[in-house]
Structure 1
Amino acid sequence: MGTWCAPCVAGHRKLDSLQAQFSESLHIWAVSYEETSRVRRFVEKQPATFQHVRDEHELLATYFPHRIIPHAVLIDPSGQIRSISAPEDLDAFTLQAFLSGEEPRVAQKQDRIGFDPLRSDIFERSGTEEEAFTLIESLEGLPTLSIKGLGEGLKGRRLTLINYSISGMIREAMDLGWRRFQIKEEEKQALEEELYTLDLIVAEADSDLLRTQLFEHVQTHFGLTLDTLRETSKIYRLVLEDPVKRAQHAAVNPEEAGASGQHYRSPAAQLKDLADYLEQFGIVGAIVLPETETDPPYPMDFRFFPEDVATFWKALEALGLGLRQEEAEVTRYQVSLKKEIASPKLF
């Protein structure tokens, strides 16, 4: 498990409930590769009745190879592996049957172990392509993943989306979080649950051009309509509270720039950049708008522990920033499929 991984945290709570139900016959170990101090801090805020183990040298990964976490392995008293699945697929009924000697009736997790999408090119591009667009079915055993500029000569010109929904592709193209979109109930299966893998190369190294062409290709290929909605909604406003703290923040190494469920680091970021992060990663559970979009960029090293809300507010304060809840007019988009296109063909 990873303390930064939202599905892992959700699975942690579920497994704790199952451990309590089967306290005499089931023993659960949560395995992590993170530092002991980090896991200990997490458990202090999210206590559990089962054991936590640190696999410092990732030895268990050689016995239970996987690519996607969380990763749940059921082992019977004789030491035989009976099931490999996601924790979300385990429930009391399944475990009771397993403990009674029956074969676990649970979807088996099939990770694609021998393939690294960050190093290997699924589409085998030569690097000489001026433009390209390819759409294929989902790739079993790989996570949802966005890869930019993979391959010699393609930096800034290429975007690969692995196991993305249609709505996810549109969000990527528009650089907006899911709260900015509405989808009809009857179209959620097609737009949110069916997954595809896409590869796009554009003629120039330009992030705006990549997003524009991604939007055009996806909209045209799947036959989408996009309607603009203006609504008044409760939002969070990211505001500058202490200009001195904001300007004095320490430099950030560009090689350490990035974002996860517990950090955002950038050598030069504006309020709108952090607001986008807070919204798109679902950190505060609402749309987040910046107080201004014309503030000068400064280094930003924003780190907190998701299980400890106080650390989030302290991290904001250290940057000289704050969040204010208010009502504001926001733009949302309704994504729909054109009626004449029921089953998009791949190419």
Structure 2
Amino acid sequence: MKNILFSFALFMLSLAARAQSALTVGDAFPDWSFVSLDGQALTLESSRDYVLVLEFWASWCGPCRTSLAALAELKATFGDRLVVVTLSDEDPDRQVRFAERTGYPFHFVQWQERWQEAFPHRIIPHAVVVNPAGRIAAITRPELVTADVIETLLSGEAVELPLKAEADWDPTVPIFARDSQTIAAFAVQPARADAPSYTREYHQGPFAGRRITLVNLPVSGLYRHALATSIHRMELPEDEGRSYCVDFVVAPEQSGQLNSLLLDSLRRQFDWRLDTVRLERTMWVLSAAETGLLLPEAASPGAPTANGTSYRSAGARLADFAAYLEEFGVAGMPVLDETGAGDRLFQLDFSFEPEDQSTFFRALEKMGVAVRKDTRTIVMYSLSPE
């Protein structure tokens, strides 16, 4: 493995020397060669009879895994006429396990930061397509790389795919200017074309616990945050309409009511109807395993870090863990905590590898937690424009 990484490092130095600025659609792709994580050597000539797809990904990224599965189907269709190189900054051993379990016929390569200059990107998945003439045909969203696109490129014709342009946006720079002495405020702006969608909560400073900024969210997303619920507990219209930016501040003595007061403000601002209904839904139910809970307890809460394959906290309730499984789409349905742990805090260090479902259940087993599917009647939120 060390020899593989060393060989790739030499390749990266070579590429960096030749790519002093970002490569764009229409540019010639440099002639280069590398050794992938499994020891395979690949040389890409300037003229060839195949299409090259560079896929930037990570195993914790659900859309990335979906994109790789779609590329595997394309590879099965086109065979040697399609070459796929995946690039990730994850641990090389993790990538190798993913490659072995999925059997995807790709060249898995360790990403290095010096390549960022040639292919700047921050959001994955991210695809770069090179035509048989050795020129960059597209820098786009992976789901747009279809069989028709590959066929067109193989025939020598050009394709026009939307450019996956990313905003150079710093989420710590406030959209809404606020004096530190502000007691309460509610402001709404149209969506910002130069910003991604995100939520900013304030944990320090004069606005700690009493301010929230929501950027480029549809009305349903604004309500979802105010209701502290997930998409799996909402019934929404097909067309969610425009997106907005919202900034909300409450007085210090009202910090515990931040979400409920935000909901009141949203209901006054937008002509949308919000109803609650009780409906039967299939869900995951968490319970204590026969061993009992095996988690070390915590004395105080700890801010969690989470992604699609892991949840870690120095102090969290199992109800918080259940919410993670629901809100991050791990379960794909509502999740109910019936472990009986209540408000007890635990040290949580949970992770799994989604291409191998057994790793998920082993991770739960180490926690002393069991999961089953059941049908329950739960409160759902119905949201629609009036």
Query: What TM-score comes out, normalization by structure 2 length?
Result: 0.77
Cα separation, 1, equivalents of 2:152 and 2:65: 25
CA–CA distance in structure 2, aligned partners of residues 24 and 116 of structure 1? 42
Q: d(CA) in 2 for partners of 1:302 and 1:250?
A: 15
The one-letter amino acid of 2:161's match is: V
The answer as to whether partners of 1:251 and 1:299 remain within 8 angstroms in 2 is no
Aligned partners of 2:376, 2:113: CA distance in 1, in Å? 48
Preserved CA contact (<8 Å) 1:156 1:206: no
- Code of the aligned partner of 2:130: I
| Aligned match of 2:206 | 153
Whether the aligned pair in 2 keeps the contact of 1:177 and 1:280 (CA below 8 Å) is: yes
Question: Is 1:136 matched with 2:153?
Answer: no
Q: 1:79, 1:126 → 2: CA distance?
A: 54
1:72 aligns with 2:127: yes
Q: Secondary structure at the match of 1:170?
A: helix
SS at match of 2:181: coil
1:131-169 per-residue CA deviation (whole Å, 9 max, x = no partner) reads 233333333464432221188522222212223222122
Provide the residue aligned with 1:246 in structure 2. 294
Larger radius of gyration: 2
Matched, 1:38 2:94: yes
Q: Is the 8 A contact 1:67 1:112 kept in 2?
A: no
Larger deviation: 159-168 or 196-205?
A: 196-205
Match of 1:290 in 2: 337
Structure 2: how far apart are the matches of 1:269 and 1:190?
33
Aligned residue number for residue 350 of structure 2: 302
Helix, strand or coil: the match of 2:306? strand
Query: What does residue range 1-347 of structure 1 map to in structure 2 within 5 Å?
Result: 1-55=57-111, 57-113=112-168, 115-117=169-171, 119-140=172-193, 142-149=195-202, 152-183=205-236, 187-190=237-240, 194-204=242-252, 208-241=256-289, 245-248=293-296, 254=302, 257-291=304-338, 292=340, 294-338=342-386
How far apart in 1 are the matches of 2:254 and 2:154?
56
Aligned-partner residue type, residue 178 of structure 1:
I
TM-score normalised to structure 1 length:
0.85
What secondary structure, in the 3-state scheme, does the structure 1 residue paired with 2:239 have? Answer: helix
Q: Could you say if the C-alpha distance between residues 208 and 306 of structure 1 is closer, same or farther in structure 2, counting changes exceeding 3 Å? A: farther
Structure 1 contact 68–143 (Cα < 8 Å) conserved: no
CA distance in 2, matches of 1:286, 1:276: 11
Stretch moving more, 289-298 or 158-167 = 289-298
Distance 1:26 1:301 in 2: 40
Instruction: Report how many residues are paired.
Output: 329
CA contact (8 A) 2:301 2:314 kept: yes
The answer as to whether partners of 2:282 and 2:376 remain within 8 angstroms in 1 is yes
SS where residue 229 of structure 2 aligns?
coil
- Percent of aligned positions that are identical: 33
- Asked if the contact 2:132/2:153 (under 8 Å) is kept, the reply is no
Q: Is the 8 A contact 1:251 1:267 kept in 2?
A: no
Gaps of 5+ in 2: 1-56
Residues 53 and 273 (structure 1), Cα distance of their counterparts in 2 relative to 1, 3 Å cut: same
Question: Structure 1: which 5+ residue stretches go unaligned?
Answer: 339-347
Q: CA RMSD in A?
A: 2.6
Name the CA distance, whole Å, in 1 between partners of 2:291 and 2:210. 37
The one-letter code sitting in structure 1 at the alignment partner of 2:376 is A
Asked if the contact 1:225–1:336 (Cα under 8 Å) also holds between the matched residues in 2, the reply is yes
